[in-house]
Amino acid sequence: MLYEFECPCCKRVIIDFRLLALLESLRERAGGRPVIVNSGYRCEEYNKKAGGVPRSYHLSGMAADIRIPGMAPGKLIRYAYDVGFLGLGLYNTFCHLDIRTKYASWEG
């Protein structure tokens, strides 16, 4: 749903269609299970509040922090890699996924 990508601060939405396409591929890879977006687009003010980096992909609608209920983040990150995400952040309860042009992964 579009509201899942809204900035909590200003309610604006910016989404890169390539992000949506990969998220749909991820949902299919996960057997059609729901993909829950914890954080999508962020304005600069909210990105600072959320502790995001200054040049975060969230600022341009090219990133999402997600989870799939009942799926461990470690398995989710492997599926995300399989479908073509290049920015892969593994956290305890969610994964950060983005559509950068060069591979990068980290744990937070």
Which CATH number does the domain housing residue 7 bear?
Answer: 3.30.1380.10
What does the pLDDT read at residue 2? 84
What's the CA gap between 31 and 39, in Å, rounded?
22
Range(s) of the domain holding residue 45: 2-107
Q: Give the number of domains in the chain.
A: 1
Residue 107, classed as helix, strand or coil, is strand
> Is the whole-model pTM more than 0.85?
yes
Cα 17 to Cα 50: distance, rounded to the nearest angstrom? 24
56-101, pLDDT tens digit by residue?
999 999 999 999 999 999 999 999 999 999 999 999 999 999 999 9
